[in-house]
Each structure stands twice: as C-alpha cells, then as structure tokens.
Structure 1
Amino acid sequence: MQNQQQNFQGSQEMPAQQSHGGHELFDAHEAISTLAGGMEQYLLYEQHIQDPELKAILQQQKTFLTQTYNTIVETMQTGQEPTVKTKNYNMGQSNNVIYGMQPSQPKTPAQSVNEINDQHVSGYMIDVLKTGATVFTTTAFETTNPVLRRVFADSIPNLVEMAYEVFLYQNKNQYYQVPQLKQTDMQAIINGFAPMPGTMPH
C-alpha cells in the first residue's frame, strides 16, 4: 500500500511535458492529424474558388487554423502555457439568415474536377470544420493535462464560428437553404416547455 502511494505521488511530480495520459495522447494525435488534414484540404480547395469573398474567408480561416495548430503542438510538447494563447475567431459575415426554399435542380456528385465550384468548396470547408469540432470535443473530454485540455476546449467555439461563417456565406448564395415549419407548428415547439419556478442563486 505504501509503495502504491509513493508511486502515485511520484506520478504527480512528473515533468510538465510528460504529464499526459494514454487516452489523451491518442486523442490529441488524432485531433492534430485531423486539423493538419483539414489545413491540407484547404490548400487543395483554394485553387478551385472563383468568388473572391469565399477565397478571403478560406485564407483568413487557414491563417487562424495554422496558429491553432502551432499552439496545440507547442502545448502538447511542453505541457505549459503556450507562447501564443488561444484567441477568438472573428468572422466577417453578418448574422442574417435567409429562410425558405427556392426551387432548384436535383444535385448529383461532380463527375470531373472541372465541375468543382464555390458551392462544392464551401461545403467541403464546413465538413472540415464540423469534423474538427467533433474531434476536439472528444479530445477535451479525455485530456488530463489542464493546459492542453483548455487549449482544445477553447478552440472548439472557434471551429463552430468558422463553420457558421461558411454556412452564412452558403445561405446568402442559396447553396444552403433553410426551410421553416408552419407558424403554428413552430410556435407549438417553441412553447413546448415552460420555465420552472424559483430564482437563480446570487
């Protein structure tokens, strides 16, 4: 029993760069690989973009993701506060969403690279960001090093914001249409819950 206690105490005194659990390292490796893969996909997509606005979004996101990548790698290697802390991503789109469906032709997968257009690219960008947010969330749950856990957790809202920025771009270009329920159905769902009595503690 005393030996076990000594071992446990010893594990708490590990150098910071070694204070990582097994699950944490596997998940962090997957998260970093996913982020790196997404950045490489952005490189491939950029050459197919026609709209300067979408190109500017991709380039701003790529720059931000590069810093996120460097911050995560440094934190994993040192176990310490990174040189550049996690910042908030600020998107350029307005929050206006266009609701309703416009008639459009049924879609089929592209048959050649020449068919890849801004609608395709913006969809691929959202997929990269959704995947990243999912993997970062799982990794934050498994991470024992408090600094690395905080970096992953703080990066999730940025990926969500980037995906929302691309969604708004798609929506205003009618690439991503948003249907709505009938007014009565919407109200029934919105009013389907009532607040509980009681006040929040001060």
Structure 2
Amino acid sequence: MGNDTMYQPDSAKFNHGGHEVLDMHETLSTIVGGLNQCVIFRDQIQDVELRDILDRQYKFSLDEYNILVESFKTGRDPSHPTGSYKMQENNQFTFGLKAGQPTKPITQASEINDEIISGYLLAAHKQMATTKLATALETTNPVVRRVLADSIPNCIEMAYEISLYQNKKGYYQVPQLSPQDMAIMTNCFGEATSISPSKFN
C-alpha cells in the first residue's frame, strides 16, 4: 500500500478540495455570465430607474466577483471584506392578479424591453444565489467559504430589489391565498416548549 500520510498543501493558495475547485469554476462562470448580461442589456433599457438599479448592482457585483477571485487564487483573506448591498426600493409589494396577455417567447431581438431585461436580471441573481450556496457547502477553504456565504445575502437582496421594481411596474404579480386560508396556513405550526438538557444525556 502507499504512504498513509495525507498530503498537506504547504501554501494557502492550494488549500482547496477537488469538489470546491470544480464548483468554484461553475460559480465564477455563472457570475461572469450575469455581469456580461448587464453590459449587453444596459444600453437597451428605457427606464432610467431600472438603469440606475442595474448600474448599482453591477458595480457591487463586480467588486464581489473580484473579492471571490482573489480569495480563491490566494486562499487568504481578500484585500477588503465583502460589503452589504443596500437596495433603494421600498419593500411594499402589491398583491393580487390581473388578467393580461400570456407570456411567450419573443421572435426577434427588437422585442426586448424593460420587462424582459429585468426578468433576466432577476433570474441571474437567483441563479447566482443557488450556485454560491451549493459551492459553499462543498468548500474546504475557510476564507473562500466565508466569502461565498457572505455574498449570498447580497444576491437575495438584489433579487428582491428587482422583484419589487417588477411588481411596481406590473411585470411581476404576486397572488395571495384567501384571508381564511392564510389564517389557517400561518397558524399550522406552534412554538416548541423547552426540553431539559438531561433528556438528551
């Protein structure tokens, strides 16, 4: 049999497991794809408010990308910590559905509009959050894991900001249950009572 001594990397930049490296490549590729979409669609946006959201989110996401690349390459703390994205939309959703034309695929690029672009942005943030979470769960390097974990709430916040914008514009409708069903569903669970620690000994 071979040597029983496990290989220990002598440099922090090689302190990564195989699953981590492969998943990080997937994550960074997903982030690059989302950033590229921002560049491609920016000049096609008609609404100044949506362009402002895109610009703020792009700038923040680009910095997060650089932090993640730096920590992945070095295995050490990046030059500055992950920030916390602060959206500017209020958190007031309009609930309910209104009948409208069914959504269907476009047939030519000239049909691209703010509704479609904001939908791309929302999908990109959801994909990035999902990919970062899956990668963080496979990450052995403590710095990279922390950078990934710290960035996930920012994806959630940016997705929330886009969904609020879409809801305000009527692009994103939010159905609700009836008041009776809502009351039943929100009261299906109760708080647990404390159990003495000795019960687990």
The CA RMSD over aligned residues, in Å, is 1.8
Query: Counterparts in 2 of 1:122-141, with a 5 A limit?
Result: 122-141=118-137
Deviation at 1:54, TM superposition (A): 0.2
The separation in 2 between residues aligned to 1:48 and 1:199, in whole angstroms, is 59
Which residue of the partner structure matches residue 95 of structure 1?
91
Cα distance, 1:200–1:123 mapped onto 2, change above 3 Å: farther
Distance (Å, rounded) in 2 between the aligned partners of 1:200 and 1:44:
59
Query: Higher mean Cα deviation, 40-49 or 150-159?
Result: 40-49
- 1:194 deviation in Å? 1.2
Deviation at 1:85, TM superposition (A): 1.1
In the TM superposition, what whole-angstrom CA distance separates every residue of 1:39-60 from its partner, at most 9, and x where no partner exists?
Answer: 0011111122100000000011
For 2:142, the equivalent position in structure 1 comes to 146
Superposed, which structure 2 residues align to 1:34-113 within 5 Å?
34-113=30-109
Q: Point out where structure 2 has 5 or more consecutive residues left out of the alignment.
A: none
Aligned to 2:137, what secondary structure does the other structure show? helix
Q: Structure 1 residue 115 and structure 2 residue 111: aligned?
A: yes
Deviation of the 1:114 alpha carbon: 1.4
Equivalence for 1:156: 152
Q: Distance in 2 between matches of 1:148 and 1:107?
A: 40
Q: Which residue in the other structure is 1:176 paired with?
A: 172
The residue aligned with 1:188 is 184
TM-superposed deviation, 1:198: 2.3
Give, in whole Å, the separation in 1 of the partners of 2:68 and 2:98: 42
The 1:145–1:103 alpha-carbon spacing in structure 2 relative to 1, beyond 3 Å, is same
TM-score between both structures, scaled by the size of structure 2: 0.93
Identical-pair percentage: 45
Residues 199 and 43 from structure 1, CA distance in 2 versus in 1: closer, same or farther, beyond 3 angstroms? farther
**For residues 82 and 62 of structure 1, what CA distance do their matches in structure 2 show?**
20
Give the match's secondary structure for 1:142.
Answer: coil
Q: What per-residue deviation string (whole Å, max 9, x for no partner) do you get for residues 58-88 of structure 1?
A: 0111101110111011101111100021010
Aligned length: 197
| Structure 1 residue 14 displacement after superposition | 2.2
The 2-side partners of 1:59 and 1:199 are apart by: 51
1:19 aligned to 2:12? Answer: no
1:94 positional shift: 0.2
**Structure 1 residue 199: deviation in Å?**
8.0
- Deviation, 1:195, is 1.2
